[in-house]
Amino acid sequence: MASDSRLLIDLQDIYELTDKGDTELRGAHTVLGQQQLEILVLADGMASVDAISRSVRTLKREDVMKTVGEMVAAGLLKQAPKAEAAALDFGMLLSKHVSLSPGALAEASEEAGVGAASLQQQGYFVRIARRTRPPRNLPAGRKPAVIIVEDDPHLSKLLKTFLVLEGLEPRIASKRDDVLKQFRTPPAPDLVLLDVMLPDTDGFDVLAAMRRHPVLKSVPVIMLTGKATRESVQKGLAGGADGYITKPFEVDVLMAALKVVLGMP
């Protein structure tokens, strides 16, 4: 590999796997080291080189830049499309609190009343506009990936068990750093179950950051909440949530909402 390729790498560059890189990452007989494989995992088309260097704690920033350059030269990585490369890193988006506009809140006002009533009666609410969402065409053999953002370890473990039984691939995040790690881990999620109250961030801020990100903006989000109030539903709808589930919930209620949003039978 070319050792001087690091000169071509900028900290704000965003890279993704090539077909060769994907094969190397998934292959059983890779010749790459553990740190190289870790960088391949983190280079997901969303994280900048700077974000990757902060995630790989065993390497200095200069060494990460050098390794990225070497893997680009070897055909394992390529620069992400311009629309994605120009976007801010998700961590930067999440660090900025965004206030909802009065117009967005007003637009969600009428539907919020319907949503709150649905939550109180049946434990879940899915936006009418989302019920016709076509199912995603996934690569052969890949299960739908679901990120569970929940700080209660017992509840997250329970959710994970249910989703595995339904043929889904769940990943758990309990705090801000976990959220960033999971969103940077390929594949990108097909659904996010998002707790409203988190220990070091706010579920609505996570939702806002997703809706401003070029890769994550169209990922369905179901909010998990203990408050079935009109105001909280209005805030979620204005922020781009696809649905709500109240806590505590029944298994069939959870799966009903999830299947509607994912377009599953």
Please determine, looking at this structure, whether the domain spanning 3-86 carries the CATH number 1.10.10.
yes
The four Cα atoms 163, 137, 18, 182 give a dihedral, to 10 degrees, of -30
Q: What is the pLDDT of residues 112-170, one digit of tens each?
A: 888 888 888 888 788 754 544 555 666 667 788 999 999 999 999 999 999 999 999 99
For the chain, give the mean pLDDT: 81
The percentage of residues in the chain with a pLDDT greater than 70, rounded to a whole number, is: 87
User: In this structure, what token pair is assigned to residue 235?
Assistant: 């805030």
The closest of 112, 116, 120, 124 to 256, measured between CA atoms, is 124
Distance CA 152, CA 69 (A): 40
Beta bridge partners of 246: 225
The model's pTM: 0.65
Give residue 87's pLDDT: 44
Q: Pick from 6-20, 120-134, 166-180, 227-241 the range whose average pLDDT is largest.
A: 166-180
Distance CA 205, CA 221 (A): 13
pLDDT of residue 84 exceeding 70, the answer is no
Phi/psi for 124 (5° steps) reads: -150, 160
pLDDT of residue 225 exceeding 90, the answer is no
Q: Which residue ranges make up each domain of the chain?
A: 3-86, 92-262
Class of domain 92-262: alpha beta
145-149: strand order across its sheet: 124-126, 243-246, 221-225, 191-195, 145-149, 169-173
Strand 221-225 versus strand 191-195 pairing type: parallel
